[in-house]
Structure 1
Amino acid sequence: MKDKGRSIAEVSVRGMIVKRLPRKLDIMEGENAAFCVETREAVEGICWNRNGQELQESSRTVLKSFGRTHLLVLVHVTREEAGVISFAVGESQTSSQLRVKCVKRDPPSSPVAARMSTEHSNAALLTWCPAPDVHHRPASSYVLERQELSSSEWVHCLTTDLASLVEVLGDSVPCEADYRFRVCAVNKYGRSGPVEFPGSVHLVPAARLERGLQDARVRDGEDAHFSLELSASVRGAWFLNGTRLGDDEGASGRYCVQHCKTEHSLLIRGARREESGAQVTFVSGSIRDSATLQVQEAPVRVVSSNEDAAHAYMAGQRVLLWCELSRADAPVRWYRDGLELEASESLVLEREGPRCRLLLPCARPQDTAEFVCDAGGDSAFYNITVAEAPVRVVGSNEDAAHAYTAGQRVLLWCELSRADAPVRWYRDGLELEASESLVLEREGPRCRLLLPCARPQDTAEFVCDAGGDSAFYNITVAGWCPPGSETVAGQPLLLECDVSPPDAPVRWLKDGEPVVPDEALALQSEGCTRRLMIRSVGLSDAGTFTCDAGEAAASFAVAVSGELGLGLGVCPCTRLC
């Protein structure tokens, strides 16, 4: 055209589709894409395609028809779903180019112009500005964090949608401390780097008393513990009867002051009796709470005793029981099998400061019992056993010569260690009883056995048995026979002669050879009498025995028969002067 103008003519072809799809549709990734087609009349057999593939109804693909209107909705479109969307009915078709644009996933930039004002007491006014590129990288919110100067940990404080100012009050912090703050911008793609506010502020929470002090009741020497809990962690001070306990009280001191989060505690080590009634007070700001220390007298304890020693005694021994108490003025009682004891001649009770003693000077078997030293709150127990002392033979004539001639008087005696001890007499193992020919006597601790007229058959071993001890007597009784008569083998033989003066020396000979005494043959001297005794005569003992006194001598012809008889020995009594 001459004026170089342009004209656009739209040529429409009459068909089933009245309203067609747009040539292209631009949409952001993640949004929903909607397509609408209108037909000349309500029809069936429509078909939606994407890049030549038929679309089916699903959770992310919505297909709807309302009379002549037909809809396709793609939910949360992804970049992979871009392409040609077409609608076809019969021979009519319309299509659209779906283009999906990527969303920028950049986190916001850091805020700027961060400032802190501490003009108001116990508060911090924080201000900042959004980043200059906030329009390209918008922030959805701002996160404020706090940090105690004594800690390296940052803790979330609050989140706000306003980029202007925030006031942090002391009530919003958990404990009293010096704090600093920082802020960062946040959107769904991330968060910016933090920006710290210059300086710091001291904040104190408004605490309430959650759990108050309780009175402490302890015994003398025990530790007393006081504690309380506040609603916030704040500092405080402890006072004892109005005197402040310094913060420098260490764990090793007598007063131990501790603060852990919201709990404050005071430990008084080794409370003293004179501190009973003391006032313990805790002060923190407007909070003031008090309690009373009650110190009771410590219970008496048995600190040492001889209760673990062996307490087995013999009658007559000395028994000493003792225990030492924790307090010298503590009362004490002694018991025997549950009955309280009092001092007497046979029982002595002594006290020397904290040491208590019970003394039995001479224990008796009836003293066997359980003794108790009772100090009230503590006791010592002693199991005492007293046994009778074993009977002993303290004297006897068992070592004397017990060679007798028939008709002589035989006296055996022994003296016991206890006068009331029972005793039994035995002859060759058989217990003896008193008779006309055997007398048993007892006079206190001395026991006697008397044979008024000994007989050869009384030759035997006699025993005085006192239970734990015994005395043994080997008795030999020889009979008389005329010279030249025979002595029966196995029976004792006694040869006897008198000499003058009484100390005259003699020799015994047999068939001219000196006689050597041994276990079977004994030589005895008693005053003027000299004896040769053979306990059991054998055939080899036959011969001539001579008692040689130098200027005088006496001979005995001994014949031994092998037949066992009454056992009469040869005993001519000859005087050598």
Structure 2
Amino acid sequence: MPGDMGDTIPGGIVAAAKNRLQVVKGLEDVEVSECESCSFEVTLNLAFIEGVWSRDDMQLKSKPNWRISTHGKKHSLVLSRVALGDAGFFSFEANGIQTAGRLSVTARDIHIVKELEDVDTMERQPVNFLCEVNQEDLDGRWYRDDCRIRPGDNVKTNHHGKTHTLFFKSVRPEHAGEIKFTAERVSSYATLTVKELPVVIVRPLRVKIAMYRHRGLLECQVSRPNAQVRWYKNRKELVPSRKYQLISQDVYRQLTIDDVCSSDEDTYTCDAGDDNTSCQLLVEEQAISIVRGMSSVEVMEPEPALFQVETSLKSGRPPRWTLNGEVLEACSAVNIDRQGTVHSLCLTSTQSSMSGPVLFVAGKSRSTAQLNVKERPLEVAHPLEDVEVKEKSSVTLSCAFAPSPRVVRWFKGRTALKTSNKYSMKREGKRAHLTIHGLTGIDAGQYRCMAGGSQSTAHLKVEVRTLKLVKHLEPVEIEEEGNATFSCELNYVVANVEWLLNNVRLYCNAINRIQHMGTMHSLTIKKLRPQESRVTFKTGLLSETTTLNVKERPAVFLRSLEDVVGEEQGEVCLQCEISKDTVTPVWRKDGTVLTADDKHELLQFGKSMAMIIHFLSKEDAGHYTCDLGTSQTKAKVTVHGETFLDHNGQEMVTDSRLQVINNGRNYKMTIRDAMLTDAGDVVFTIKDLSCRTMLFVKEKPVHIFRDLLNVKAVPGEDAELSCEITKPEATIVG
């Protein structure tokens, strides 16, 4: 029938039918989530055909997120980051043919994975807010009290993957409030609390001099304009009045005192709670002049010194006397007096250290004089004494002067001594002490103590002891793994000693134990290996050396060889265990040395020794010896007659698939990769004994482990279908 029809249809009609445009694969409905990508594809039977894409009857053109492309017979429309508004009816039309499909867009799930956390911090501290959402491509916005936060020098925002952060470099109280993060339909909230820093006095009060009956002004500067302060005079709080005016202007705090009088001279304090500042207010009275100034005084200690000054007016406040810059107060050693306009200062007991300028101050007037106190000549009240002491001890040299000297210097010969670990210097009133530590022979000599023009000398003798060995080291000879102890005794106690092994210093550890009790010193070395070494004891210039000889311990058998029995063509194993893993034994058979070959396999695992004899024959029977040089062990090997294995009437021969193993009286046959042809009778025969069994081999079922795959083909082309099975020779049914 088909052949008849082909004969009746003209050739031109057939060619036109083949060139007619057809849709091989049309558009299909697509469902995608928001922000994902999708594509529509159309396959025609002809290549290089121009077509038009439309959505809801509106023609589409390529743009950044809608890409239209043609590759031969395939026409594609790819949509990137699909939005909810992209859903609709998509169609493709070319030369009168048309195909269509619907795009459905589902809204994606957006939620907060990690909420914002409240922050409570101090002013000027950095603050970081972090919020995590479940989508990576979301744009977020930050708000403070519903006002959008814009990035700047102090505020930074960052978006990395699913994490959004807001960072304040330095927060201020005005930054406090509700922080909100918004990403499309979700939001997260947190509260930012900023505590103000403690109030600090930026510029403190300063000493102020106010004129009598005028106005006085005290001013300081605080760190915050809203800081509250309190003013105190001495410890009494001041309140606003006609006398006192308390003024706060921005960061400045002022106290104004009207009609200043002598009673206003005091200490004033501005207290800001966290910080405070104080100053003196001085009241300057009428101008006072010096009528008769002071004269310089020179006395010999401890004579009294008297200074007098006469002023033009009688001052309402007491004047100020200073000596060497220090203000003088009336006491038993200082008498301060005033008779009308004459002022007197008497120093009842002078010392040479008091020499210096004396100053009288009354208002703005002052008078100066010089006090010169001469020292009394120093005398040695108690001289140094000669001393003789032993080495390694300490000694103290003492002398006394009258009167008590200001400076004392110590000398050894002509060398000045200074305080150090070697020398300690101490003063107790008129006495001076020098202590010399750790005496040696070089410390002997003449020592001098000087103060002013007086001095005292003494000689120090140091008895130096000669270090000797009372008990000498002795040579030690032991076996390996043993402990060696060396000991010696000195003629007196010495703490710093050294022990050396072959000129290498030893220290206390798990192997070496170093001890000393009084003059006895000992060294113990544990778990020694064979060696010949030199052990040295050393302290200072004294040293002594002896020898250490560690002999090797002979190896012995921990487990001897045992007699074994084997069968012809089988194998036997001779095993033993020795005490040392560093010994290589010699194996013999009836006195003949054996070496490793195909028949004899020699093994050694640490202290375990073994020899395996393969393919046994009657000639292998006999006595075998394992010789260590210092001891040996023997065993007898017996070989029985040949064994036979019969399979379906044929003798079985050992090969790569068949293996027969004999271990003493046990025989084992192993068949690898069993086949159906291996099924049948199995007979074991040894001498006149035999036993029989049956081997069954089940056929493994055939499985398909790689299925057929769908194949699309154009009419007129070949199509190939393939699969894989587990058994090559299995029969395939189509």
Structure-2-length-normalised TM-score: 0.29
Larger relative contact order (Cα-Cα within 8 Å, sequence gap ≥ 6): 1
Structure-1-length-normalised TM-score: 0.36
